[in-house]
Amino acid sequence: MSSISHACVDRIQQAFIKLGCPFRFKWAVDTLPPGQKRLLDTHILKRLITASQIFVTLNVLSTLVAAAAGGSFKFGGVPFSPGSTVRANVPLNALEKSYAGQGGNPVPPYALAVLATPINFDPTKSWPVLIPCSTSDFKRQNRDDLIQFYQRVGLSEGWVLLAGDGPQHARNDTAAWRAAMTMAAIDALHGSFAGSGKWPMACAGFSGGGKGVGYVAPFLARNGCRITGIYLTGVNEDHLSDGYARCQPGADFLRTPIYLSAGHDDRIATPEQQYAVLGLIKRTGFNRIKVGTFHGGHDVNDAQTSLALRWFRSLQK
């Protein structure tokens, strides 16, 4: 094994601190005088690594060096380190361009994809991916909801978050536009990390974004994505039933877990309206539904988001 510089050792130690590890790494040599102890000392590494330890050692080192060195991974050709949020301009394929151009929209030269990863992100492992869809009101973009509503909770729950938008606002912000930009971001994810095509995905939508998810989620399922959850909050109209009928992702899509979150004091999407949406979704045939309520108004509730993500993840196993 090649020698590891003291600078690299220090950076790896800092990575451990960022990971929140409260213990001294066991490669420290406890027989040395306290003033001479160094974590991950090169000489000690060489003496301790045996044939039975090599596989585990190399995996641990690769993860830590990636976190310490930064820029060890690339998304859409842009270097990033675990625990960061990265933006990349990504191409649109022919199908995505056709969807983007619906409603008279000029087709952009590329989509803008945003990826947020946990500090312990390792692309050789499987990660659940949360796909937000924002309302078109106030010219909000999907990435705005990713950052404002879902990033903190999603990362703490061990999810990767991904959003796709156009480089500029759409002239006509249609469901087809949102689907095209989201699919381009997913294509970039699959092109950046081998095996990510099998990663489970959940779609999340608040208010008007919940209406958009009704079309985006079945569209993604129809195009080969593994959709394992739909999180709806502040939704006063059912568009999922229409999206299911239009996109025709198959009968298995009706078993997609749906978490509906409702604020007791919501005056924009009243509890009565949200329960009416629930009834329509059930009538369509969706049969794995949970309802959560919270004391609050028209908002995304962090505790409800955590419950939804944990439920989705428990069903992915």
50/153 same-domain check: no
As given in the structure block, the two tokens for residue 141 are 């973009």
pLDDT (0 to 100) of residue 50: 37
121/203 same-domain check: yes
As given in the structure block, the two tokens for residue 142 are 């999907």
pLDDT (0 to 100) of residue 301: 97
83/120 same-domain check: yes
102/32 same-domain check: no
As given in the structure block, the two tokens for residue 39 are 């974590």
199/107 same-domain check: yes
Q: Indicate the residue among 50, 69, 88 that finishes a domain.
A: 69
Give the chain's residues under pLDDT 50. 1-70
98/244 same-domain check: yes
121/215 same-domain check: yes
Q: Please report whether residue 277 resides in a domain.
A: yes
pLDDT (0 to 100) of residue 138: 74
63/183 same-domain check: no
35/78 same-domain check: no
Q: Please report whether residue 1 resides in a domain.
A: no
Report in angstroms the alpha-carbon separations of 255 from 218, 285, 287, 308. Answer: 12, 8, 6, 16
Which of 176, 171, 189, 174 minimizes the C-alpha distance to 113? 189
Amino acid at 131: I
Q: Please report whether residue 298 resides in a domain.
A: yes
Q: Please report whether residue 43 resides in a domain.
A: yes
In the chain, how many domains are there?
2
Q: Please report whether residue 303 resides in a domain.
A: yes
Q: Indicate the residue among 47, 69, 91 that finishes a domain.
A: 69
Q: Please report whether residue 164 resides in a domain.
A: yes
Residue 21 belongs to domain spanning: 6-69
39/154 same-domain check: no
- Taking the CA atoms of residue 202, residue 145, residue 231 and residue 93 in that order, the dihedral angle to the nearest 10 degrees is -40
Alpha helix positions (H), the chain: 6-19, 42-48, 54-69, 94-100, 142-145, 151-156, 175-192, 208-222, 240-247, 271-284, 302-316
pLDDT (0 to 100) of residue 32: 38
pLDDT (0 to 100) of residue 139: 80
65/77 same-domain check: no
Cα four-point dihedral sign 165, 169, 175, 177: negative
pLDDT (0 to 100) of residue 72: 82
Per-residue model confidence as pLDDT tens digits over 282-302: 999 999 999 999 999 999 999
CA-to-CA distance for 215 and 226, rounded, in angstroms?
A: 15
CATH number at residue 179: 3.40.50.1820
Q: Please report whether residue 257 resides in a domain.
A: yes
pLDDT (0 to 100) of residue 56: 36
Q: Please report whether residue 201 resides in a domain.
A: yes
CA-to-CA distance for 150 and 142, rounded, in angstroms?
A: 11
Q: Indicate the residue among 69, 103, 119 that finishes a domain.
A: 69
111/210 same-domain check: yes
pLDDT (0 to 100) of residue 62: 41
pLDDT (0 to 100) of residue 137: 80
